[in-house]
A and B are shown apart, each in its own frame.
Chain A
Amino acid sequence: MAKSAHKNQLAPGISRLSRSKVFSKRAAYKVAKESKPVATEAPAQGEHKSYVKNDLVVALTAKRNVMSQALEVRKAKATHKAQRAPKLRQSITPGTVLIMLAGRFRGQRVVFLKQLASGLLLITGPFKLNGIPLRRVNQAYVIATSTKVDLSSYKVGAKFNDEYFKHEQVAKLTGTEEEFFGKEAQKKAHPAHKIADQKTADKDVVAAVAKVPYLASYLASSFTLSKGQAPHTLQF
């Protein structure tokens, strides 16, 4: 297959090779540069001295190098985007009872505690009432009900952040025979400090729930759509 002959110009005025490439191709670095003396014209006797600055005239009348546009490198625009957590829906405030729509606890009612830095919501069952531990959930997978638990005097511990809920890195398999046959496949016990954290976090929430009649059994019950019920008609 014959090589296609390269055109000198990609388009009228735009050469295929950049100025530096042309310079090196022509080996112009070998040619000694001749310095031209800059000639300043002194006004002849009797002629008017021009009051217009010479450089300005040069600048205004200079022809734009058509090729320079193609040779200019575009600088990337500096972005001013900031990573921010998604806005919390107005209906979700600390103490709101939420309905989980997906995941392991779908249909269950939980209490909202606070929004974490990542934007996920920190919720708790409370564990004593419905078996749901401190957990993170995305607000898109949750319906906020109008029922609120009074958590005004309660402050969520600062230790409950995204780092606390991150999954532990699973240990890499070393390829031993025992591992292959699954002898090590025992359920890891839930870390004791997390059980203790759950108790301290839930203490005030459970107390606030106990003040409202039927709220504890409400949180223990789950939500479901019955026959003929359309979600768009429901008032949450």
Chain B
Amino acid sequence: MAVLYSKGRFLGFKRGQRAQHENTALIQLENVNSKEETTYYEGKRVAYLFRAPTAKKGSNIRCMWGRITRPHGNSGVVRAKFRHNLPPSAMGSTVRVMMYPSNI
């Protein structure tokens, strides 16, 4: 089976020291270490997959979709907005960064 996504980690929400904004998630992309390298990933769709006890449409795996919106800082972290905000329990978990919508 072809792997057509790269991995990222959900670090947390966009925040100041004392207040967080859950509508924007911060994603650390694997093998991406600078702001210049993140330009490829802008606009790419992101999927957070998780398991649930009940099966829906024949599968226990569920998905939350989002898109990478812009870089965050200078070290390759990016901001992403999801259709529905990510649950805080997802912090530290892996997220799939797809290769589409493609611009190559």
Contacts and interface: CB of A to CB of B under 8 A. Distances in A.
B50 interface: no
Name A's interface SS: loop
Contact of A230 (B32, B100, B101, B103): B32
B6 A230 contact: yes
A106 B102 contact: no
Interface string A185-211: 000000000000000000000000000
A119 to B, nearest CB: 14
Interface residues of B, number: 21
B4 interface: yes
Name B's interface SS: loop
A225 interface: yes
Contacts of A223: 2, 4
B2 A107 contact: yes
A102 B98 contact: yes
Interface residues of A, number: 24
B32 A232 contact: yes
B4 A230 contact: no
B6 A224 contact: no
Contacts of A139: 102
A228 B32 CA distance: 11
A142 interface: yes
A63 B79 CA distance: 58
Nearest to B2: A107
Nearest to B101: A140
B104 interface: yes
Contact of B2 (A106, A140, A232): A106
A86 to B, nearest CB: 11
A145 to B, nearest CB: 9
B6 A225 contact: yes
6 contacts: A101-B4, A102-B4, A139-B102, A142-B102, A232-B41, A236-B104
Closest 8 CB pairs of A and B: A107-B2, A232-B40, A140-B101, A230-B31, A224-B2, A101-B100, A225-B3, A143-B104
